[in-house]
Amino acid sequence: MNSQYHAVVRGSIPDIIRNEEGVYEGNLIHYFQILFNHAQNLERPYHNFRHMTHVLWLCHKASQFYMNELTQRQRRNLLIAAIFHDFDHSGMFGNDDLNIERAIRALRKYLDPIDTPHVSHIESLMRGTEYPYAIALENLDLAGKILRDADMGQTLSPAWIQQVVFGLAAEWGKKPIEILRLQEPFLRSMSFHTEWGQKMFPAAAIGQKIEEAQALLALLDTEAPQTA
């Protein structure tokens, strides 16, 4: 692979899966194959392949940020939890505890034997993403707080209208305008709990997303001019 091409793909999902930069122990090829070939929710409107790999990507960036605070093993646990946290998600509103149990069942079924001594930690990280939050923030370790921050990060991505507004509307059986109207109160209550999360998603970015949601609603509420 020439250096120019490698520079382009550095930080991509294949790069993360292969662990090109040695951020964590081993690689995640086994788990990526399991996700791609066996997860039943890859094409859901929101809880889909894009969401799970986006959370993985964000957790990898956080792992690089916390190279001195997390061991390679802890970073591996975090990234496995990111891949599996919404595995086989039903896409239905409510009962997220059942979604977590479904994801944990998949983790146990496909667990690489080398990760057996650490499965309880991986599971605890996944449980921290149950929403509404069932585990208090102060009961999460650093990796748990990172995963929770990353799980919310897609709300501030450029693809949020398609992924969040239309995606959640489809999963919850609501109209997109209903979800769009929920964005401002949700964003105003949003907070990130790690130093990485606060730098990755600063208050200014949240403010800009609120303004974008307001502007979209204003356009939709405006009476279109009559054409000749």
DSSP one-letter string for the chain: --HHHHHHHTTSHHHHHHTTT--SSS--HHHHHHHHHH-S-TTSSSSSHHHHHHHHHHHHHHHHHTTTTS-HHHHHHHHHHHHHTTTT----SS-HHHHHHHHHHHHHHH--GGGGGGHHHHHHHHHTT-TTT-S-GGGS-HHHHHHHHHHHGGGGSTTHIIIIIIHHHHHHT--HHHHHHHHHHHHHH----SHHHHHHS-HHHHHHHHHHHHHHHHHHHSPPPPP-
| Predicted confidence band of residue 113 (pLDDT cuts 50, 70, 90) | very high
Query: pLDDT tens-digit profile of 185-224?
Result: 999 999 999 999 999 999 999 999 999 999 999 999 987 6
Query: What pLDDT is stored for residue 5 in this prediction?
Result: 36
Per-domain residue ranges of the chain: 3-221
Query: What pLDDT is stored for residue 172 in this prediction?
Result: 95
What CATH superfamily classification does 3-221 receive?
Answer: 3'5'-cyclic nucleotide phosphodiesterase, catalytic domain (1.10.1300.10)
Average pLDDT over residues 8-24: 87
